[in-house]
C-alpha cells in the first residue's frame, strides 16, 4: 500500500500551473500581436502618431513580469490566490487592449 505524499502533489501542481501560465501567455501574446497589427493599420490609414504603440509595448513587457510574480506567489503556498490573479490579469489585459484598439480605430 502506498502512503500519501503531499510533496508529490505540490510538484505536480507546480508543473500544471506553469503549463497553464504558458498557455495564458501565448493567448495574451496573440492578442498583443493583433494589437500591434491594429496600431500599424491605424498609423497607416488614420495618420495617428507612432506613440500609439506605447500601451501595447507596456502590456507586452509587464505581463510576463506579473506572471513571474504569480509563480512566486504560487510556490509560496498561495495557490488559489495566484491562480485567480493570473486569470484576472490576463482577462483585464485582453479587455484593455481591445478597448484601446477600438478607441484608436474609430
> Is 0.85 topped by the overall pTM?
yes
Question: How far is residue 105 CA from its own chain's centroid?
Answer: 23
In eight-state DSSP terms, residue 76 is T
Q: What mean pLDDT is reported for the chain?
A: 93
Whether the pLDDT of residue 67 is over 90: the answer is yes
How many CB atoms within 10 Å of residue 93? 20
Please report which confidence band the pLDDT of residue 63 belongs to, taking 50, 70 and 90 as the band edges: very high
Output the CA–CA distances (angstroms, integers) from residue 89 to 3, 9, 28, 29, 97, in the order listed.
38, 26, 10, 13, 12
C-alpha cell at 72: 512566486
Amino acid at each position: 500500500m502506498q502512503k500519501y505524499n503531499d510533496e508529490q502533489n505540490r510538484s505536480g501542481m507546480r508543473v500544471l500551473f506553469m503549463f497553464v501560465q504558458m498557455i495564458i501567455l501565448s493567448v495574451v501574446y496573440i492578442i498583443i500581436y493583433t494589437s500591434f497589427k491594429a496600431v500599424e493599420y491605424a498609423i497607416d490609414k488614420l495618420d495617428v502618431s507612432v506613440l500609439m504603440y506605447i500601451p501595447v509595448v507596456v502590456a507586452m513587457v509587464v505581463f510576463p513580469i506579473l506572471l513571474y510574480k504569480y509563480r512566486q506567489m504560487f510556490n509560496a503556498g498561495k495557490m488559489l490566490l495566484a491562480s485567480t490573479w493570473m486569470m484576472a490579469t490576463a482577462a483585464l489585459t485582453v479587455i484593455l487592449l481591445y478597448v484601446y484598439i477600438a478607441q484608436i480605430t474609430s
